[in-house]
Amino acid sequence: MSKKPNYDFQKRQKELARKQKQEEKRARKREEEQQADATPESAPEALPEPAT
């Protein structure tokens, strides 16, 4: 008698892998946004305004 594949287990593992990948992507995007916010070139309001 052969064993039947455990499809529920396979599905759960696939879902967990997908959720982990999505979380890694979110973390990467957060890091990129923080790095972009930290650069002074990205802040145009840091430039002094010309006297009128």
State the pLDDT at residue 42.
47
Written as six digits, the tokens of 34 are: 């923080």
In angstroms, the CA 47 to CA 37 distance is 16
Closest by CA to 5, choosing from 13, 26, 45, is 13
| Residues 38-52, mean pLDDT to the nearest whole number | 62
State the pLDDT at residue 24.
98
* CA 16 to centroid of chain Cα atoms: 16
State the pLDDT at residue 26.
97
Please, what is the Cα angle at 33 between 27 and 38, to 5 degrees?
A: 125
State the pLDDT at residue 37.
84
State the pLDDT at residue 50.
66
Residue-wise pLDDT for 3-41, tens only, equals 888 999 999 999 999 999 999 999 999 999 988 887 755
CB of 29 within 8 A of CB of 21? no
